[in-house]
Each structure stands twice: as structure tokens, then as C-alpha cells.
Chains A and B, each alone.
Chain A
Amino acid sequence: MTTGMIFAGSGAILFAMGVAGVLLPTHLLRKILAFNIMGSGAFLVLVGLGQRSGEPDPVPQAMVLTGIVVAVAATALALALARRLQRLTGRMELPPEAERD
């Protein structure tokens, strides 16, 4: 087993944990962290599978760099929104679905 496959395998596990983490907790910070774990898992799979033969592959590495920046941007927006929500409602969780009907 190459290091690439170890990365890829742990990436897959991280991804699954991340998905469960986005779905289960109600605290927004945890959800956002879980999303980052999920993203990191996907990045690990991308890089790990790419170089499972042992030689480094610059293409997935560049893609992951792009992906990380995108994830940073999304996380920043999510945190800003979560903070605004906390300022408005005093709670760090999503209000129950606004059933206006």
C-alpha cells in the first residue's frame, strides 16, 4: 500500500465523518467545521488517488489548492452569516424551519 492510498483511504473516511457531522449537530460552528472536514476528505482523495503509484501528480495538487481557496471563501461566508444570525437571535443554531403556513 502506497502512502497515496493511505491518504485516499483516510480521506474517504474523513469525508463520511464530515457528512454525518454536517447533518447531525445543531450548533452552527460544528456544522461549518464538519463541512471543512468533509472538504478536506475530498481533497485527500483527490491528491492521494492521483499519486497512488508513488510519483507526485501536480494536476490534483493544483486542483486542491484551488479547492482549498474555494473552501476558505465558503467557510468565511458561512461564519459571517452564522455570526450575524447569532447577533440577531442570540443563538448559534438555525431557527426551526420557518413554517409560515
Chain B
Amino acid sequence: MTSAALDPLAWLILLPMFWATLAFVLGLGRGAWLAIIGIALQLGLALALAGRLLAGGVPVHPVGGWGAPLGIDLAVDGLAATMLLLTQAVALPLAVYARSYFTGDSSERRFFWPLVGFLLAAMNALFVSADLFNLYVTLELLGLAAVGLVAAGGKVGQTAAALRYLLSTLVGSGAYLLGVAMIYGAYGSVSLSTLAPLVDRQAPAAVHLAAGLMLVGLTVKTALFPFHFWLPPAHGGAPAPVSALLSALVVKASYYLILRLWLGILAPLLAPGAAIAWLAGLLGCGAILWGSFKAIGTPNLKMLVAYSTVAQIGYLFIVFPLLGRTSPGDAALQGSVLHAVAHALAKSAMFTAAGVLVKATGQETIDGLAGVATRLPLTLFAFALAGVTLMGLPPSAGFLAKWLLLGAAIGQGQWLLVAVIVAGGLLAAAYVFRVLRHAFLPAPVAVSSRPVPRMLEWVAFGLAASSVLLGLRGMEILRLLAAGGSS
């Protein structure tokens, strides 16, 4: 056994694929423990990888031993390590949650574990891939796994949502693929490390066009306003553990890729404050306002949480006009990554809490929540804590993210962005407290409360608490983010 045999980089991809396939062979609805053990091991691997990175290593794994540009390289920097860690850390509690959530022979459960395994494999593969075409394959793997999870309910709404999601994600990856094709035509390689020194500001028009296609395609996949139309029905209509996975992690994967390209090979094409950066920023502002507005208006609890995701995605994009004007340890970038982390924890907490509330009350509407404050205080507390993160209130990690973004926006005199960042927090308060207010109403007399496994409540609470407490450990995240050279 050589040291490569234990390279966490490769195992982070192989392991989830392995247990996913095995879970499928085991049979319908089986494999929960397999998945939980598998994800726990993955978490260990991600930690080991982060440790290696912090110790000064620059983990690269040339698949097949060929090395770029002939072969495909896997590489990890601080950003990738952060996302890997986040993904496994959120997936583990969600797996525990899902095991208790699905009861009996519900159709959602039959292929849940294999689908989740492939979903995680796809995300891990995406985070570490340093090859544009390989990234395309991981994107498709991710998209199909996510669509499969949404479609698993089999009802009309879920099928339509899945189909809408599938078509959007296919158009997105199609545009990305054409961009990759043009890049290959221009430079003869799809390896990021080979391309990095080749792309410069004098690049031919086709490369600019390719960059545009790739970014637009990925933006559709990230559901940035106005491409968000597919997200609320897909995330709001799926079972709670699926909604949590999709909202917390899957949209972040394509965002991660945008960030990676923007800061990496496409950086020479993008002058600081370029028009496309402002386009992204303004669409982000639009997302914050529109998503919050819809969340404040919807009568359905899970749709509220889904629209909140639309709004929170906006925060991820207002970073682009702020990038590149300050030193490499850019506060704006740190803010957006912290936001992605905080949102992943908070949103998974919120969806899991919403799942408990819907299960317990048997109703999906916010009006049906009356009396919940007394009957399910722990879950409601979890929802509120997650809300604190989304509102960007201290001491949550969401607050640190907002603080960094706000500082960058003020420092550059971008008052429009300052106003939207602040307004977004207040709007988030409006929809979060809308839920809490109904929960504090006295319960109607004839109310039947179904018992809910305690484990579900504790998972929601644990995720929410970690999203808040992470605010005290911002330094560690930023240190990991900065490790392994600039991203």
C-alpha cells in the first residue's frame, strides 16, 4: 500500500459512488446505515484533506498517472477544501434525518440512498476536478441525481417540477458544454492548469463568447434571478431531506464553479468592475428583493423556505462587482464563501425543521402552524436560529458574511449594494418572523398533533445551532479558504 492508496482526494469520489451502487444492489429503500457510515468516512477524508492543505501541502492527483493536459487532474485548494468539508458536514446529519424521516414504503424512499450517494459523488468530483470537460460530466451527474430525487415523489407537481428542473439544468449544461468546446478549439486543451497561462486579455472573441456561455449556463443552474423559476417548485415540492440537500448544497456546486472560473482561468478576461460583473451583481440584487418578496407572500411553509433560497442566492452574486479591486485576501470573496457556508447550514436546518412541522401538523400552510410554539418548541427554536443566520444577525456565520460584504461595499462606495444587503436582512426578518408569529398563536381547540421522531427535531436543531455558533469560528474557515495558494 502506497500513500496514494489512501489519497482522500480520490476516495472522496470513489467512496460515495461505491456505497451508492451497493445500496442499489441491496434493494429498494435499503442502505441507510451504509450511507451514514459512508458519509461519516467521507467527513473524515475531507478533514484529512483540509489538514493536509493547512499543513502546506498542495494536493493534486493526476488520474491515470498521465497528468494534464493528456489526462485529468484532480486538485484541491482552500476553496475546494472548504466546500468539500461543508458538503460532507451537512450531508451527514441530513442522512441521519432522512433515515428517520422516511417511513414505510414511501415511493420517495425507494431509491433515495443510491441517488444521494451519486449526488454526493458528483459534488465531490466537481469540487476537485481541474478539467473543464470532466466538470461538464460532473455537472450532468449532479443534475440527474438531483432531478431523480425531486421526481421520486411521483405526484403531478413533483413530476412537473422535476421536468422543469431537468430541462433548465440541461440547457445550462448545454451552454457550458458549448463554451468548453470553443475553449478547446481555441487552445487545444480543457485542463485548467494548462489553460491558466494561455488565457490573456488579448484572447480571441470566441474565448470571450465561450466564457459568456459557460457563465450563463452555470448561472441558470444556480437559479439566479430571473432563472430561478424552476427552483421553488423543485425545492418546495420535494421531501424535506431532499429539499435540504438541494437548497443547501446543490445550488452551491454550480456557484462554486462560477467562482472558480471567474477567479481562475477567466480572470484575465474580466476587468475589475466589468459590465458582466455588474450584471451579475444587479441580478443578485434583483434576486434578494424578488425572492424575499415572494417568500413574504406565499402561504406555503416549504415554498417560503424555497423562495428564501432564491433570495439568498442573490447574496452570492453581489460579490462580483466587488471582486478584484482590493488585495488578494479579498473581504468580499471571504464574505461570499462564508455566506455559502452559513446558508448551507441554515437552509438545511430550516428545511429539516419545516419537514418536522409539516409532519407534525399534517399541513403545509403557514396558517396551520398555530400552537406549534408550545408543542414543538425545539423545532421552532431551530427554525428561528436558522432564521437568525439568514437575517445576518450576530453572532451567526451569516452575520460575519454580511459584515465582510458590507465592509467591502462601503469601502468601495457602492451604496446601492449596501442598501440591498441591509434591506435583504430586514426582508428576511419579515418572512422568518411571519412563520414565528403564526407559531406563537394559540392552537385551535381540535388540533391533532402527530408524534414526530425526536431525532428529526435534534438534527434540525443541531444544524441550526451550528450555523449560529460557526460565527465564532470565522477565523478557521478563512484560514482554510486561504490555504493552498490563491483560489
B-contacting residues of A (Cβ < 8 Å)? 8, 11-12, 15, 18-19, 22, 28, 31-32, 35, 38-39, 41-43, 45-46, 49-50, 52, 59-60, 63, 66-67, 70, 73-74, 77-78, 81-82, 84-85, 88-89, 94-95, 97-98, 100-101
Given contacts A15-B178, A63-B184, A84-B151, 7 further A-B contacts (CB under 8 A): A12-B178, A45-B178, A49-B181, A74-B143, A88-B156, A100-B298, A101-B297
Beta-carbon contact of B177 and A94 below 8 Å: no
Chain A CB within 8 A of B194 CB: no
Cβ–Cβ < 8 Å partners of A32 in chain B: 167
A95 to B237, CA, bound (A): 15
Cβ–Cβ < 8 Å partners of A63 in chain B: 133, 184, 190
Beta-carbon contact of B233 and A98 below 8 Å: yes
Given that A35-B171, A85-B163 are known contacts, is A73 also in contact with B144, CB under 8 Å in the complex?
yes
Beta-carbon contact of A39 and B300 below 8 Å: no
Q: How large is the interface on B (under 10, 10 to 19, 20 to 34, 35 or more residues)?
A: 35 or more
Beta-carbon contact of A101 and B167 below 8 Å: no
A77 to B111, CA, bound (A): 15
Contact partner of A81 among B159, B182, B233, CB < 8 A?
B159
Instruction: For the complex of A and B, list the 3 residue pairs with the smallest distance between their C-beta atoms, beginning with the closest.
Output: A49-B185, A46-B181, A101-B298
24 A-B pairs within 8 Å (CB atoms) are namely: A8-B185, A15-B174, A19-B171, A19-B175, A35-B174, A43-B181, A45-B181, A45-B185, A49-B184, A50-B188, A74-B144, A78-B166, A78-B170, A81-B163, A82-B163, A85-B160, A89-B156, A95-B156, A98-B157, A98-B161, A100-B299, A100-B300, A101-B297, A101-B299
Beta-carbon contact of B144 and A46 below 8 Å: no
Beta-carbon contact of A94 and B171 below 8 Å: no
Beta-carbon contact of B159 and A84 below 8 Å: yes
Beta-carbon contact of B177 and A77 below 8 Å: no
Cβ–Cβ < 8 Å partners of B299 in chain A: 100-101
Beta-carbon contact of A50 and B303 below 8 Å: no
Chain A CB within 8 A of B294 CB: yes
Beta-carbon contact of A39 and B156 below 8 Å: no
Chain A CB within 8 A of B52 CB: no
Chain A CB within 8 A of B387 CB: no
Beta-carbon contact of A81 and B300 below 8 Å: no
Cβ–Cβ < 8 Å partners of B144 in chain A: 73-74, 77
A49 to B178, CA, bound (A): 11
Chain A CB within 8 A of B316 CB: no
B162: nearest residue on chain A (CB-CB)? A81
Chain A CB within 8 A of B22 CB: no
A45 to B166, CA, bound (A): 23
